[in-house]
Amino acid sequence: MQDKIAAVSSERHTSAPTPSGASARAPRMRQRQRLIDACIAALHLYGPSRTTVEKVVAIANLSPGIVRFYFDSKDAMLVASLAYLAAEFEERVLAPVARLKITPTHALERLVELYFDPQIASPRKVSVWYSFWGEASSRQEYHDICGKKDDEFATLVRELVEAVMAEAGLAHLDADAISLGLIGVLEVLWQSIAFQNEENIDRAAARRRSLAYLGSVFPGMFPAGTRSGPPPRESAVPPGTCPDGRLPGWAYSDAAFFALERERLFRPAWQVVGVAEQLGRAGAFITAAWPWERVLVVRGATGTLHALRNACRRQPHALLEELSGRVAGKLRCAAHDLSYDLDGRLLAGTTPGDLMPLELTRLGPLLLVRSPCPSGQLGGGVPEVTLDTWPALHVARIETTIAAADWKLLVEQWLESPDPGRHFLPPNQLLDLASEPPQILQALPEAAGRTRVVRFELRTAQRARRPGRGTRPAGVNVTGEIALAESAQRGLEAFPVQAQDAGPLTPELARFRHSIAMLLPLLGSDRVTS
């Protein structure tokens, strides 16, 4: 037993985390935390009923009198230890996952990852949780703390499951049943940890089995649960493509593949929202509404640009509906009497929390924004565009058109005929800067086979002329491009087995199709080969 106590004490001193907000430098707080860690270790060894002050101070290597300085009684120390575990679970699991709600698939993947983290799911802590639950029927304090933690966890899981259902167009499924199933899988695998030694715990297998459950409910959306080996390596001809590099016809209208593209390609991608010239004064703002994010970029009082999620914290309606404008000093939600500083900090209101920050960067005069990348997913770097000098660009107007065609068809048309004055920003944007007038085109996927085309018509302060030419070339004809893409979409639906491409495959188009084809194996071998 002494060896086991020594081992637990060693674990406590090397791995016990300190909750945010605790002052680790203050001696009083260090000693109190030391007692809580020792109490958790004693609970693991003896259980709540047989844990005594003497056993706790023996593990902590402190005198018995020190306990009375921090806790009124043994019961108070036990409750404080359980409260610490609950706060740790909130900080290390619930809060990070809740911050990823805008990407529910990744949020659930992150939840599974964190749920089996060694800091949370150690044999010591898991056994202590179940010890407290075992006595919760006779101790109201235990019941309240454990029940609150479980309720918050169940609510978060259900919200994420509902969001994935909505995203995948699977409203007919039962969110309650799916959520309870996932919680049951997690709890069974978590409980087994209490009866194992750390060296025998296969955390990767527990995560894989949990994601396999989600993958069985949402095919193609949780591929990590179906892989037994390392991620597939990039090959010259990705699985599922035709020998000449073309994509299969179903990839332009498949709902599951559309959901995968939006998660893997678009959420981590930089998207143009406007130009810096639009935000010359404090309070000046521009907004953008993408199918996966709503964006607000505003210039703060000190001149700094801030990118924020354009959504009220009480209910996710837009704070600002206009495409551009200026606010006086603060952002307001009149419906819920909330106000925020221009950097997104809450100033007044009863709904806690600041506005969600987004990532912001510049490409010449262009402003680009993206959603925060979930942990474990690498977002693309800032796109590279080689220009001798960037012109001073101004936004003349913004036009939006709905195309009854998949977004990839529009991009493929842009890349079939490369032009030195046009620059492609993966996965879906074209800078057509040498045309008259200059323009930026975005193909935003609304649904499988449906795209919102956004056109920024630009103007320059001094329009340069190409050498040897009296006028600048006409830009991409958006109306004609959409009509051609819609016709191609109808053809793909009528003739799912495509005829051979007759035209040449440009390097730009080949690279684009390759980037899409690398997602095909994530749907599963049966779907890829169909």
In a domain, 513, yes or no: yes
- Which of 342, 357, 379 lies at the terminal end of a domain, its last residue? 379
In a domain, 83, yes or no: yes
Q: Are residues 262 and 274 in the same domain?
A: no
Token pair in block for residue 284? 């000046």
- Which of 358, 379, 400 lies at the terminal end of a domain, its last residue? 379
Identity of the residue numbered 293: E
Euclidean distance between CA atoms 408 and 414, whole angstroms: 10
- Which of 224, 256, 281 lies at the terminal end of a domain, its last residue? 224
Q: Which of 12, 34, 129 is nearest to 82 (CA)?
A: 129
Q: Are residues 436 and 523 in the same domain?
A: yes
Token pair in block for residue 338? 């909330």
In a domain, 284, yes or no: yes
Q: Are residues 14 and 150 in the same domain?
A: yes
pLDDT value of position 220:
73
Answer yes or no: are the C-beta atoms of 87 and 17 closer than 8 Å. Answer: no
Total residues belonging to the chain = 530
In a domain, 504, yes or no: yes
Give the SS3 label for residue 197. Answer: coil
Answer yes or no: are the C-beta atoms of 242 and 499 closer than 8 Å. Answer: no
Residue 461: CB partners within 8 Å, gap ≥ 6?
391, 392, 394
Residues 245-276 as b or e (16 or more Cβ within 10 Å = b): bbbbbbbbbbebbbbbbbbbbbbbbbbbbbbb
C-alpha torsion sign, points 20, 22, 25, 27:
negative
In what helix (H) or strand (E) does residue 443 lie, and over which residues does it extend? strand 439-447
pLDDT value of position 361:
92
Q: Are residues 12 and 45 in the same domain?
A: yes
Q: What is the separation of C-alpha 465 from the centre of its chain, rounded to a whole number of angstroms?
A: 44
Number of continuous H segments (helices) and E segments (strands) in the chain: 16, 15
pLDDT value of position 224:
57
Domain of residue 367 covers: 270-379
- CATH number, residue 361: 2.102.10.10
Answer yes or no: are the C-beta atoms of 285 and 296 closer than 8 Å. Answer: yes
Q: Are residues 419 and 450 in the same domain?
A: yes
Euclidean distance between CA atoms 75 and 72, whole angstroms: 8
Per-residue pLDDT tens digits of the chain, which is 530 residues long: 444 444 444 344 333 444 444 444 456 677 778 888 887 787 777 777 778 888 887 877 777 777 777 787 777 877 887 788 888 888 888 888 888 887 788 889 889 999 888 888 888 788 777 777 666 555 677 677 777 888 899 999 999 999 888 877 788 889 999 999 999 999 889 888 877 777 778 888 899 999 999 988 888 778 655 544 443 333 344 444 554 567 888 899 998 889 889 888 898 899 999 999 999 999 999 999 999 899 999 999 999 999 999 999 888 899 999 999 999 989 999 889 999 999 999 999 988 889 999 999 999 899 999 987 654 344 455 666 767 678 888 999 999 999 999 999 999 999 988 788 889 999 999 999 888 889 999 999 999 999 999 999 999 865 544 444 445 667 789 999 999 999 999 998 887 555 445 566 788 888 898 889 888 877 754 454 44
pTM value? Answer: 0.55
Q: Are residues 415 and 527 in the same domain?
A: yes
- CATH number, residue 38: 1.10.357.10
pLDDT value of position 271:
96
Q: Are residues 428 and 502 in the same domain?
A: yes
Q: What is the separation of C-alpha 201 from the centre of its chain, rounded to a whole number of angstroms?
A: 28
User: How many beta carbons lie within 10 A of that of residue 385, not counting itself?
Assistant: 14
User: How many beta carbons lie within 10 A of that of residue 524, not counting itself?
Assistant: 16
pLDDT value of position 118:
85
pLDDT value of position 325:
95
Backbone phi, psi, residue 446, to 5°:
-90, -40
Query: Count of domains in the chain?
Result: 3
In a domain, 233, yes or no: no
Beta bridge partners of 430: 424, 441
Cis amide linkage into residue 365, ω under 30° from 0: no
Taking phi first (over 0 means left), then psi (-120 to 50 degrees means alpha), and beta for anything else, what does residue 145 get? alpha
Euclidean distance between CA atoms 325 and 354, whole angstroms: 22
Euclidean distance between CA atoms 324 and 322, whole angstroms: 5
Q: Are residues 142 and 194 in the same domain?
A: yes
- Burial of 447: CB neighbours in 10 Å, binned 0-12, 13-18, 19+: middle
pLDDT value of position 492:
87
pLDDT value of position 138:
59
Backbone phi, psi, residue 13, to 5°:
-75, -20
Q: Which of 264, 130, 281 is nearest to 191 (CA)?
A: 130
User: How many beta carbons lie within 10 A of that of residue 284, not counting itself?
Assistant: 17
- CATH number, residue 513: 3.90.380.10
Answer yes or no: are the C-beta atoms of 445 and 402 closer than 8 Å. Answer: no
In a domain, 236, yes or no: no
In a domain, 239, yes or no: no
Euclidean distance between CA atoms 459 and 391, whole angstroms: 9
Q: Are residues 401 and 458 in the same domain?
A: yes
Q: Are residues 298 and 336 in the same domain?
A: yes
Q: Are residues 395 and 502 in the same domain?
A: yes
Q: Are residues 23 and 143 in the same domain?
A: yes
In a domain, 230, yes or no: no
Q: Which of 459, 294, 464, 277 is nearest to 362 (CA)?
A: 277
